[in-house]
Chains A and B, each alone.
Chain A
Amino acid sequence: MRVEVTERCTGHGRCYSEVPGLFEDDEAGYGVVLGDGTFGAGDIEAARTAVHGCPENAVRIVP
């Protein structure tokens, strides 16, 4: 599974502040996934935290 930041992102920064293991900030303060966003079963809760925490519904988990 993979996390994805969609074009709805407006740079609240909740994903990379709360889940630095899966996201980082770009130079404009918008969220980007680390690497290609792939994560293992152990990180599913972290990924969900990012999904629920994003006020723009910009974080998605894709299979």
Chain B
Amino acid sequence: MTQQETERAMPTGVVLATEPMAHDRNRGWELLRQVGPVFQDDLGLYNVTTYEGVKFVQQNPKLFSSQRAFDDQGSVQQIPLAVDPPDHARYRRILDPVFAPREVNKMDVELRRQAAELVDAFAHRGHCDAMNDLAKLFPTQVFLTMFGLPLDDRDKCMEWVRTINAERVLGTDILSDSLVEASNALADYSRQFIRAKREAPGDDLLSRILAFEGEDEWTEDEMMGFVGSFINAGLDTVTSSLGFVFHYLATNPDVRRRVIEEPELVNPIIEEVLRLEPVGPRIPRVTTQDVEVCGYTIPANSMVLMCLGAANRDPERFPNPHEVDVEQANLGHLTFGGGIHRCLGSHLARREMRIVVEEFHRRIPEYELAPGAEPTIKWPAGVVTFETMPLVFPVPAAP
């Protein structure tokens, strides 16, 4: 690092909590983008806001450690989320084929059946809460299905995860009693079913991973770490993303009608909503040495946050940054991250979302937000989400 490179003064003390994110993410992210490519927020954390800057962080895992960024979240290391090179590759070599599109295809029929069942439960009612009646339930069912666990465990798993996520504070070591309690309960539950599957393997993902032998064999702690990653990264994320998609479709009836008429638009619309609403809005890393990003020097041992919502609105990459525009759907947004930690569940998540939207529309093509409903998010948060989204729709005539 030369003196010259450190000359550009980095904005500091940027207050995140006052951003208008709760109602208007376009304005919120744009304000942050305009602060600069790199800035320090009011907690002293370094934020990166450009597409190229975020990619640089993602693609240099030796300079930006995940292990150090995620190691405050409980006692078991999250695998592969919190693993740095070179160990990371060993896990992904095993996991990638399990989460590949070909595997996701095999689950399509069963997952569709489950989504249909959830929608059928309220389709005759004329109203539903898209979050509580559907978007929160489905991803947990997918997790249980993939792990060969009973769907009856759904509600207790959801409650543990809810507590853990609600009480975790990014960038601090504060652990509340109820958080510790929920973490322990979830860990006990996981340890039990891992042991049960080891003894009596089934035809599920868990049993598949447990079947590896020799140098590919996983210890119980590694299995626990993977279960932790799936639960932490694969439930709320899909729930929240579904919320954003339904919000968009409920408030843009013309687009929705087009999507129903032209089913091939479902994927591009989902991609564009994913781009605008990255549910893990700021993904953390810790620098392993002094490192220059976009001309600014970030010192060693600093927490760096990749601002995906800002990068996904970078006009250098996206010509129409603030709008859902299917023409941009193939321009490679960063909502699923990138580099070696590219979301393991991205193919699954995309399929889950498509299935839920399609099965919903099949039964309920016309719907809108309930009068007076104005879904908002809490900000800042590790995972941003609507908690509730009341929808109303005409009741289909009795068959």
List A residues at the B interface (Cβ < 8 Å): 8, 10-14, 17-18, 25-30, 49, 52-56
A17 neighbours in B (Cβ, 8 Å): 267
A28 neighbours in B (Cβ, 8 Å): 93, 96-97, 100
In the assembled complex, the Cα of A27 lies from the Cα of B106 at a distance in Å of 13
A26 neighbours in B (Cβ, 8 Å): 100
A13, B101: Cβ atoms closer than 8 Å: yes
Q: Number of contact residues on B: which range applies? A: 20 to 34
B55 neighbours in A (Cβ, 8 Å): 55
- In the complex, the chain B residue whose C-beta lies closest to that of A16 is B101
List B residues at the A interface (Cβ < 8 Å): 55, 59, 93, 96-97, 99-102, 267, 330-334, 336, 338-340, 342, 346-347
Instruction: Given the known inter-chain contacts A13-B346, A25-B102, please indicate yes or no for A30 contacting B96, CB distance below 8 A.
Output: yes
B332 neighbours in A (Cβ, 8 Å): 12, 14, 52-55
In the assembled complex, the Cα of A27 lies from the Cα of B102 at a distance in Å of 7
Name 25 A/B residue pairs within 8 A (Cβ), A-sorted: A8-B59, A10-B338, A10-B339, A10-B342, A11-B96, A11-B100, A12-B342, A13-B101, A13-B346, A17-B267, A18-B330, A25-B100, A27-B97, A28-B97, A28-B100, A29-B99, A29-B100, A52-B331, A52-B332, A53-B330, A54-B332, A55-B332, A56-B59, A56-B339, A56-B342
* Distance in Å: Cβ of B53 to nearest Cβ of chain A: 14
In the assembled complex, the Cα of A11 lies from the Cα of B95 at a distance in Å of 12
A52 neighbours in B (Cβ, 8 Å): 330-332
Q: Name the contact of B346 in the complex, choosing from A8, A12, A30 (C-beta under 8 A).
A: A12
B59 neighbours in A (Cβ, 8 Å): 8, 56
Instruction: Given the known inter-chain contacts A18-B330, A27-B102, A29-B101, please indicate yes or no for A56 contacting B338, CB distance below 8 A.
Output: yes
A53, B96: Cβ atoms closer than 8 Å: no
B336, A12: Cβ atoms closer than 8 Å: yes
Instruction: Given the known inter-chain contacts A12-B346, A25-B100, please indicate yes or no for A49 contacting B338, CB distance below 8 A.
Output: no
In the assembled complex, the Cα of A26 lies from the Cα of B97 at a distance in Å of 9
A49, B347: Cβ atoms closer than 8 Å: no
* Distance in Å: Cβ of B85 to nearest Cβ of chain A: 13
In the assembled complex, the Cα of A29 lies from the Cα of B347 at a distance in Å of 8
* Distance in Å: Cβ of A3 to nearest Cβ of chain B: 15
Instruction: Given the known inter-chain contacts A27-B100, A53-B332, please indicate yes or no for A10 contacting B347, CB distance below 8 A.
Output: no
In the assembled complex, the Cα of A28 lies from the Cα of B100 at a distance in Å of 5
B336 neighbours in A (Cβ, 8 Å): 12
B347, A13: Cβ atoms closer than 8 Å: yes
B330 neighbours in A (Cβ, 8 Å): 14, 18, 49, 52-53
- In the complex, the chain A residue whose C-beta lies closest to that of B343 is A12
Q: Name the contact of A25 in the complex, choosing from B101, B333, B334, B339 (C-beta under 8 A).
A: B101
* Distance in Å: Cβ of B205 to nearest Cβ of chain A: 14
In the assembled complex, the Cα of A55 lies from the Cα of B340 at a distance in Å of 12
| Apart from A8-B59, A55-B338, A56-B59, 6 more pairs, CB < 8 Å | A10-B340, A25-B101, A28-B97, A49-B330, A52-B330, A54-B332
